[in-house]
Amino acid sequence: MRIINKTIIYISLMTLGFGQSYPPPTSLITMPTAGSLTRGSYSFGMRIQDEGGMISTLEAGITDRFQFGLSFGSPNLIGDDSLKWYPRPEALLKYHLIDESMTMPGFALGVNTQGLGDFVDSLNRYETKAYGVFLVGSKNWKTPFGNLGFHTGINYSFTETKDDDDVNYFFGWDMEINPEFSLMMEYNPALNENTMTAKKMSIQKGGYVNAAIRWTFAERLHLEFNFNNLLFDEDKVEYFKRELKITYIEYF
């Protein structure tokens, strides 16, 4: 009888995903995770921002642990203002250092120099700073609905230090509610925006809280509705940002 009870408890824990490793997404709304593209796969993404801005990203899995990508865009690609491009293409690299286990999270080291929003020439930074170099850990569980993941890390925006050069941290979670829909939320306290010059131009108030709904309406096509900067500064902006992100994943 005792053996049967132990067996039932064990099966129940496994069904709820207690400590079980599960493949995480490669990113949430803006923050990276420890997940990476597999060898021979690539992803093409388009982020449609406010004021007609758009960022295009192409990433490829070079090995099962290393992925490389480039991004480029404009803060006002669509509209009737003078067209403005970002000053340079940006790099996205990630190396999966440690695999996730039943008791330990997985870890990845990477670089992402692509910020969001307008580019402020006087401060040599994006409106929302890029993560720069980062170390991130992810722990995932398999639930009856799908994947449940928690992700946290530290970052240093080494290309945007003119106004502030502090180290920052971030964390977030994702949860599948069925095979097509996922919910995501993340928090970036923006500790690297705490000088007076940053406060004058920053649109956040107490950091960036972002939420999203991701819809996988085809096997390799993701449509994401982002609600960014929920802690917006009412003295600088009237409302939080609404964005649309499209990601297509294919194999060589």
Q: For the chain, which residues make up each domain, given as ranges? A: 2-251
Non-local CB neighbours of 40 within 8 Å, separated by 6+ positions: 61, 251, 252
- Nearest in space to 125 (alpha carbons), one of 53, 28, 197, 206: 197
Q: What is the mean pLDDT of residues 174-200?
A: 87
Q: What is the mean pLDDT of residues 64-72?
A: 96
Q: What is the pLDDT of residues 93-121, one digit of tens each?
A: 999 999 999 889 999 999 999 999 999 99
Cα separation of 168 and 134, whole Å?
9
The residue type at 119: F
Listed ranges 18-22, 30-34, 191-195; the one with the highest mean pLDDT: 30-34
Cα separation of 80 and 202, whole Å?
25
Confidence class for position 145, pLDDT limits 50, 70, 90: confident
Say what the pLDDT of residue 205 is.
80
Say what the pLDDT of residue 225 is.
96
Residue 2: is it exposed, middle or buried by C-beta count within 10 angstroms (0-12/13-18/19+)?
exposed
- Nearest in space to 139 (alpha carbons), one of 24, 25, 37: 24
Q: What is the pLDDT of residues 82-94, one digit of tens each?
A: 899 999 999 999 9
Q: Report how far apart, in Å, the C-alpha atoms of 179 and of each of 209, 213, 219, 247 are.
A: 25, 13, 10, 16
% of the chain with per-residue pLDDT over 70 = 88
- Average pLDDT over all residues of the chain: 87
Q: What is the mean pLDDT of residues 218-230?
A: 91
Is CATH 2.40.160.40 the classification given to domain 2-251?
A: yes
